[in-house]
Amino acid sequence: MAKGIFIIAEQRGGTLRKISLELVSEGRRLADQSGQSLAAVILGHQITEEAKKLAAYGADTIYVADAPELAAYTPEAYTAVLSELIKAQEPDIVLGGASQQGKELTAKLAARLETGLAMDCVGLSLEEGLLIARRPIYAGKVYADVVCETARPQMASCRPNVFPILEPDAARTAEIVSVAVSIKPEDLRTTLVEELADQSGKVDLTEATCIVSGGRGMKDSENFVILEKLAGVIGATVGASRSAVDAGWRPQSDQVGQTGKVVNPNLYVACGISGAIQHLAGMGSSKVIVAVNKDPDAPIFQKADYGIVGDLFEVVPVLEEEFKKIM
Amino acid sequence: MGGEEKEANVNILVCIKQVPDTESQIKIDSGGKGIQTADIKWVMNPYDEFGVEEALRIKEKTGGKVTVIGVGPQRVVESLRTALAMGADEAIHVDDPAADGGDALATARVLAGSVKDVPFDLIFCGQRAVDDDNAQVGAALSELLQIPLLSVITKVEISDDKAKVKVQRPVEGATWVFEAPLPALITTQKGLNEPRYASLPGIMKAKKKPLSAKKLGDLGLSPDQAGLQGSKLTIKGLTPPPERKAGKIIEGETAQEKGTILVKLLREEAKII
């Protein structure tokens, strides 16, 4: 019997992350479709007020696990608290985020609960009570539909930026349930010593709605300043191809592709990127792709919605100026 | 003192998966649940190379032994020999069809079984394999072995007394610094190191290094605990990704003209800005 849907909300520094709203919205959709209730679970310290925001997006119940030890995420303590709650409540479906934190947490949780987890999904549907999860594999060269037939809960982690957020309804309320937290010493072996804030303050590539990327055609690290300027105008994050990273022009964390980050922004502007198969796999699900390249035969043009054959050093500054006029 | 030296050693296990080279075109097979393997070039998962390299660097500093483990058909021996040629000391190959094709937990059971008699202080796994992009086996193995899990790591520091490890983990907008007691399991991310190439003498030496083949029975596992039979998560079917067609090439005389047209199209046609 269906016993409800749980979503694992994510907070950092006491603030809900966007993925939490995406999860509640998708959870609501599945709950309505199957006539189940939707519960959001949040772990942290002094987060009840923040957690209440989840009601407007569709949570019927909000479980709050509040303890000083849970203020910052650690894999062991979070897994322990969540697995106890899930064992007690026996939900039919548990959704988490395929964020950096969520991927680790859901993987650990699924193993502890001895159930199946569909990682990094881009689509979820229900067929006769079974959760059919669609997930890109080979960095998106193929999509797999996976299912967990017998073990419960059915678990999936949702790729950020894919599942649309519902319009919040301020009139909606949820029952707030405080979770009794008992954390054993062995759940505190792994400790967060320090959090080094990223000085750039830019949105991570995996969560960016707009990306401007540079490849071998950028010729040098200093030339990326023209991409930074364009990105500044349209609120984009700067990414890079593997060639640009391997050349030492950009940090590893900027790499888009099969051995870097898989991204899915609304707009992806590829500058001086020829479009190696590994790169195309990593950005192929972008909603709109723009390519600027000197070589008219570059494979990137086969994937691009709009292409400009030309010198990026001439084109990019024009784009910056033209966008400035309308932003 | 010999005894002290022995204590200083760090024994490291590295789990290796053999995957299609990232250059590969991936085509769905006639059964609809797997891929065509005829033209595939098989390589060590790139993230696992970072694990082998990091293990070797630690061993070179502190002494100890590096054991690599791979699950899969006979071809997996090539990847294990590559790791031995890089400098690993020993390899374990679980060569049993009943162990293949499992989900994360089923595969982790095989790995846990294959190291039950091997002492270790650290285990490395790639943060994900570039074939199924599952990113779960390391986590599942840490659960079965009940040891701390440190995921997607770009820096590893072992304490002088070899009791603890401190790691750096990039997340969205920050880097987390975690500390955990050993033994622990670390999953590796690009940026951790630059893996070495196997040298010719290394390749020659690798041929004589111990490589043991194991069956499920040797690991104390039955077929219903491993591989497809032991899996909770199953593939219903594979589909090609949504087709992307080549779009418009913007025509114009100058960069100025082309750029102006593009921005107009993004705003009025694509409605993205």
Instruction: For residue B241, give the nearest of A119, A284, A302 by CB distance.
Output: A284
CB contact under 8 A, B247 and A304: yes
- Tell me if chain A has a CB within 8 Å of the CB of B9: no
Residue B217 near residue B198, CB atoms below 8 Å: no
Q: Is the pLDDT reported for residue B110 higher than 50?
A: yes
CA distance B148 to chain A (A): 6
d(CA B131, CA B79): 15
Helix axes A312-326, B255-268, angle to 10 degrees: 40
- Give the residue-averaged pLDDT of B179-188: 98
- pTM (2 decimals)? 0.94
B42 touches chain A (CB under 8 A): no
Instruction: Look at the block and give the residue holding tokens 């990414």.
Output: A239
Measured between CA atoms, the residue of chain B closest to residue A142 is: B240
Which residue does chain A place closest to B267, by CA atoms? A326
Mean pLDDT of B40-44: 97
Q: Which residues 84-143 of B have a C-beta within 8 angstroms of A?
A: 103-105, 108, 130-136, 138-140, 142-143
Of A100, A110, A327, the CB nearest to B172: A100
Cα separation of B185 and B164, whole Å? 12
Q: Is the pLDDT of residue A228 over 80?
A: yes
CB contact under 8 A, B174 and A74: no
Rounded to an integer, the average pLDDT of B128-142 is 97
For residue B147, pLDDT over 90 is answered with yes
Element containing residue A23 per DSSP (H, E): helix A18-34
Query: For A37, which DSSP code?
Result: -
* Whole-number Cα distances in Å, A109 to A41, A156, B34, B53, B105: 14, 11, 27, 29, 11
Tell me if chain A has a CB within 8 Å of the CB of B154: yes
Determine, for residues A116 and B46 on separate chains, whether the beta-carbon distance falls below 8 Å. no
Chain A CA closest to residue B140: A111
The answer on pLDDT for B5 being more than 50 is no
For residue B183, the chain A residue with the least C-alpha distance is A189
Task: Give the DSSP per-residue string, A282-321.
Answer: HHTT-SEEEEEES-TT-GGGGT-SEEEES-HHHHHHHHHH
Per-residue tokens: B74:
């006979």
Q: Which domains does chain A have, with CATH numbers?
A: 5-188 (3.40.50.620), 205-326 (3.40.50.1220)
Residue among B105, B235, B253, B264 with most chain A CBs within 10 A, to mutate: B105
Query: What would the pLDDT profile of A278-323 be if each residue is shown by its tens digit?
Result: 999 899 989 999 999 999 999 999 999 999 999 999 999 999 999 9
Mean pLDDT of B199-203: 96
Mean pLDDT throughout B178-183? 98
Q: What is the ipTM of this complex?
A: 0.94
CA distance B46 to A202: 27
Mean pLDDT score, B210-223 = 97
Q: How far is A152 from chain B (nearest CA, A)?
A: 9
Bin B260: left if φ > 0, else alpha if -120 < ψ < 50, else beta. alpha
For position B1, what pLDDT does the model report? 38
Whose CA is closest to A146, among B139, B101, B99, B109? B101
B140 vs A contacts (CB less than 8 Å): 107-108, 110-111
- Residue A183: the pLDDT is 93
Chain B: residue whose CA lies nearest to A250: B191
Mean pLDDT of chain A: 96
Q: List chain B domain ranges.
A: 2-225, 245-273
Asked if residues A6 and A153 have their Cβ atoms less than 8 Å apart, the reply is yes
Q: What is the pLDDT of residue A2?
A: 55
Mean pLDDT of A84-113: 98
> pLDDT for A153-163, tens place per residue?
999 999 999 99
Average pLDDT value for residue range B41-63: 97
Is the per-residue pLDDT at B139 higher than 70?
yes
Considering chain B, what is the average pLDDT of its residues? 95
- Residue A268, classed as helix, strand or coil, is strand
Question: Which chain A residue lies closest to B257 (C-alpha atoms)?
Answer: A318
CATH 3.40.50.620 fits domain B2-225 = yes
Q: What percent of chain A has pLDDT over 90?
A: 95
- Model pLDDT, residue B7: 53
Contacts of A150 in chain B (CB under 8 A): 232
Is residue A199 pLDDT above 80, yes or no? Answer: no
Which residue out of A117, A202, A229 would a mutagenesis test of the B interface target, given it has the greatest number of B Cβ atoms within 10 Å? A117
What is the rounded average pLDDT of the residues B2-8?
A: 48
* Residue B242: per-residue pLDDT: 87
**3-class DSSP state of A86:** helix
Give the C-alpha separation, A100 to B150, whole Å: 12
Q: At B19, is the secondary structure helix, strand, or coil?
A: strand
Cβ separation A304–B103 shorter than 8 A = no
* pLDDT band with cut points at 50, 70 and 90 for residue A200: confident
Size of interface A-B (CB pairs under 8 A): 262
Is the pLDDT at A44 greater than 60? The verdict is yes
As a whole number of Å, the end-to-end CA separation of chain A is 52
| Smallest Cα distance from A182 to chain B, Å | 18
Residues 6 or more apart from A241 whose CB is under 8 A from it? A213, A214, A215, A216, A255, A256, A257, A273, A276, A279
Return the pLDDT at A1: 44
Among B44, B143, B248, the residue to mutate for chain A (most A Cβ within 10 A): B143
Q: What's the pLDDT tens digit per position in A101-152?
A: 999 999 999 999 999 999 999 999 999 999 999 999 998 999 999 999 999 9
Contact list in B for residue A307 (CB cut-off 8 A) is 246-250
Q: Are B105 and A110 in contact (CB under 8 A)?
A: yes
